[in-house]
Amino acid sequence: MVVGDFPIELDTLVVGAGPGGYVAAIRAAQLGQKVTIVDKGALGGVCLNVGCIPSKALIQAGHLTEHAHGTEELGIKTENVTVDFSKVQEWKGSVVNKLTSGVEGLLKGNKVDILNGEVYFVDKNTAKVMDEKNSQTYTFNNCIIATGSTPIEIPSFKFSDRVLDSTGALNLKEIPKKMVVIGGGYIGTELGTAYANFGTEVTVLEGTKDILGGFEKQMTQVVKKRLKKKNVSIITEAMAKGVEETKDGVTISYEVNGKEEKIDADYVLVTVGRRPNTQELGLEQVGIEMDDRGLVQIDKQCRTNVENIYAIGDIVPGMPLAHKASYEGKIAAEAISGEKAEIDYIGMPAVVFSDPELASVGLTEQEAKDAGYKVKAAKFPFAANGRALSLNDSDGFMKLITREEDGLVIGAQIAGPNASDMIAEVGLAIEAGMTAEDIALTIHAHPSLGEITMEAAELAMGTPIHMMK
């Protein structure tokens, strides 16, 4: 111990100030705990600073650019559309700043103490917080670890000025003429689509048989149709081999069908997944159990095998979703306060901000059948909805999954505009134990995309109005 480093006593310590950590800290403070939160980076974590929020801002700017070129079938023609990308980046930064400063205000308003530095656990009640100059020891009664995740780096594609992770792709100073995206998951699809909308020639190299694994093929087909219109090339079952960098670009070599190919681009974006930030924290020192991927094992209250230490978000099993981290943060904070809260992922939505958006909640048709349910899958097309047609955005569908014997809503999948917003209604229906009839009897405004949910529910009941059975 450093001379003079007398331990400072804390009640609840939260490690990581992303959407899991800061939400956990606020909820714990609301429940009467004295909370201290520590992060080595900016408040808001990856999500607010270099993830969810800036990527959606860039996606929106890309959509506006695409729309600015006009739509001939609507009689709208434009010429000489220009994009000042520095202004786009400036606006994106302003969105981030508003939210991160808002998080700081919320933490302070809830009397949460904020520390900046790296954390190293000494034992189950002690941690050191270190910055560039100092090291201070703290003791705590309870701790919530929410340190998030980091993009996986492929050994043959070391990150550089031309080989980008998602953060690098969000912070480019100019719109590339050509970009190669390695990995057709949600991050690669979202950012690839954003740049395609700005006019970049995008090629996606995906190692498996299809992009957006985890979503049904019917859903990904809708996205692929749009990507083709944007001149995005998708090469599946392609194994990225290596990259040669020059001052002005990159040459990527990859193998497909046993044959090696090469492609030139200005940049290559590598999006092959994320790894949990559980290294260099001293978790082994405390005896916290992790699997071979570095994920912390937890119980239904987010408690690790060490009774007073909890873990949430990307460092525990499950999808690396910001809203999952926030949900788990509330559960952990409530558990520390003695409440009987437990995690239940049945209403956890998964969303891709592709074009069009994809969203899923609960069980898919196949998952429900595998679980032994007899189900109905009621599929209603956006093309039969007046609002979708008036938006000139009618590709896609909603598929509502209900239990055959009583119409209980157990899942839904949506491919279409505003799917990210529409999925919430079905999530509520699942959480509340509602039936298709409950949704059908709920009056939905006309004309709205929300009517699609009502129509799918009526279809599940066998009494659809705006399509034939």
Measured from the Cβ of residue 60, the count of other Cβ atoms closer than 10 Å reads 17
| 374-417 residue pLDDT tens | 999 999 999 999 999 999 999 999 999 999 999 999 999 999 99
Taking residues 297-324, report their average pLDDT: 98
Strands 163-164 and 267-270: parallel
Please report, as a single letter, which amino acid is at residue 14.
V
Residue 343, helix vs strand vs coil: coil
Contact 414, 442 (CB under 8 A): no
- Residue 314 assigned as binding residue: yes
| 106-120 residue pLDDT tens | 999 999 999 999 999
> Cα separations (Å) of 284 from 123, 162, 216, 287, 313?
10, 36, 39, 5, 19
Measured from the Cβ of residue 90, the count of other Cβ atoms closer than 10 Å reads 10
| 210-257 residue pLDDT tens | 999 999 999 999 999 999 999 999 999 999 999 999 889 999 999 999
For the chain, give the mean pLDDT: 97
- Residue 195 assigned as binding residue: no
Query: What pLDDT is recorded for position 469?
Result: 79
**DSSP at 297:** P
Query: What pLDDT is recorded for position 99?
Result: 97
Query: What pLDDT is recorded for position 190?
Result: 98
Q: Output the DSSP codes for 43-94.
A: TTHHHHHHSHHHHHHHHHHHHHHHHHTEEGGGTEE-------HHHHHHHHHH
Query: What pLDDT is recorded for position 132?
Result: 87
Taking residues 283-312, report their average pLDDT: 97
> Cα separations (Å) of 120 from 89, 295, 299, 358?
35, 17, 23, 39
Would you say residue 50 has pLDDT above 80? Answer: yes
- Residue 271 assigned as binding residue: no
Would you say residue 326 has pLDDT above 50? Answer: yes
- Residue 404 assigned as binding residue: no
- Residue 98 assigned as binding residue: no
Contact 396, 416 (CB under 8 A): yes
**Band of pLDDT at residue 4, cut at 50, 70 and 90:** low
Handedness of CA 431, 437, 438, 443 (dihedral sign): positive
Please indicate whether residue 446 is annotated as part of the active site. Answer: yes
% of the chain exceeding 70 in pLDDT: 99
Would you say residue 3 has pLDDT above 80? Answer: no
**Band of pLDDT at residue 1, cut at 50, 70 and 90:** very low
Q: Which residue has the tokens 């939260």?
A: 14
- Residue 220 assigned as binding residue: no
Catalytic residue among 67, 444, 446, 466: 446
Query: What pLDDT is recorded for position 352?
Result: 98
In the chain, the domains with their CATH numbers are: 8-151+275-345 (3.50.50.60), 163-272 (3.50.50.60), 356-461 (3.30.390.30)
Query: What pLDDT is recorded for position 342?
Result: 98
